[in-house]
Amino acid sequence: MYRAVFFFLRRLPAEAAHHLTFGLLRAFAFVPPFAWMLEQMTTFRSPRLETRAFGVDFPNPVGLAAGFDKDAKGPDALARLGFGFIEIGTVTAEAQPGNPKPRLFRLTDDRALLNRMGFNNDGARAAKARLERRSPRAKAIVGVNIGKTKVCPPEKAPDDYATSASLLAERAAYCVVNVSSPNTPGLRDLQAIEPLRAILVAAREALDAGSPNRRVPLLVKIAPDLADEDIDKVADLALELGLEGIVAVNTTLSRGGLRTEKGAVEALGNGGVSGAPLKKRALAVLERVRDRVGDRVAIIAVGGIESADDAWERITAGASLVQIYTGFIYGGPFTVRSIAKGIDARLREGGFATIADAVGSARRS
């Protein structure tokens, strides 16, 4: 069925298809009979899948990566598709339109996407207002991914991130500092250790001030295109500053290994690639980070995860949680159920009582 729907959606521009499907999901998810039916069809539950990372309890380790729900318009609707958690954003301190359209493209032969969205969002205040309007009965675990406002000069970046962190602290299960998107000019320069240190310190202070009664876990999201020695430096900084986690990885600027004809890719222009082509590098970065931080910092793995096999590989390599985005776009609404069910089966077959028991198990020998 989803193949037929995807065939139709492919006839629409990628961004238009996204808005259409997300809008329909939000509409159906809040009509009680449809919402119940949707959840029953797409959600797999098992006590083995329940896990705890950076002080937060998750019903399962499969989350939706940032980028799908940029403005906190439907985290609870998305959670009905079986996700263990939803990461909204990337949110910036001020509203901004992002880059000119078209800015999202399918690389269907590669099961990939190319995007240069540019942090289009309604701003942190709007996201805060939407999160405050959530029903008290809403159960979705919502993380917040924050980035730099495009017009903010680099030297003011710590204050810019701090503004978003302060506004969203009370509504965030955790907060991710995004300095690794390739679509905001100069953003990746902030991954250099001293600029990054200043941003993370400012974000930590803002989270503490904005949520004085609860420590909001702080994570940093890194690029797959970092050199190995720079990955080590970010991992060391995370340990030094006492960060709760690292998200590995963002989209890549690399065009290596794509099946899509080179000229067709070049015609699409700049942007970050996500999906299956990112799989190998994302795993390598995860393994390197895990070797550096051990179990002292939790890792969320993202990039090219499409199946239970992919998710299990990341968990046993050291990820406490995994996220999907492009795999969800291509796989459809039953993707999370399939992955969660497969992880549960591998836990049972491997004699693991919990997700935590399996984390990093492939690298213990």
DSSP result, 66-135: TTSSTTSS-HHHHHTTT-SEEEEEEE-SS-B--SPSP-EEEEGGGTEEEE-----B--HHHHHHHHHTS-
For residue 61, the tally of other CB atoms under 10 A from its CB is 28
Terminal-to-terminal C-alpha distance of the chain: 44
pLDDT the model gives residue 363 = 86
Q: Could you tell me the mean pLDDT of each successive run of 10 residues in the chain, 365 residues long?
A: 63 94 91 91 97 98 98 97 98 98 97 98 98 92 98 97 98 97 91 96 98 98 96 98 98 96 97 98 98 98 98 98 98 97 98 98 83
d(CA 73, CA 94): 17
HEC profile of 164-178: HHHHHHHHCCEEEEE
User: Angle at Cα 100 formed by Cα 94 and Cα 106, nearest 5°?
Assistant: 110
- pTM comes to 0.97
Please choose, from the candidates 183, 187, 170, 180, the residue with its C-alpha nearest in 3D space to the C-alpha of residue 222: 180
Residue 229 is part of a domain; what is its CATH number?
Answer: 3.20.20.70
The pLDDT, as a whole number, for residue 7 is: 63
* Domain of residue 115, residue span: 2-363
| Residues 154 and 198: beta-carbon distance below 8 Å | no
Residues belonging to the active site: 181
Predicted pLDDT at 1: 53
Domain count, the chain: 1
Q: What does the chain come to in residues?
A: 365
State the Cα–Cα distance between residues 110 and 276, nearest whole angstrom.
7
d(C-alpha 287, C-alpha 292), whole Å: 9
Check residue 365 and give its pLDDT. 61
Distance CA 285, CA 262 (A): 26
Closest CA to 295 of 11, 21, 42, 53: 53
The pLDDT assigned to 297 comes to 98
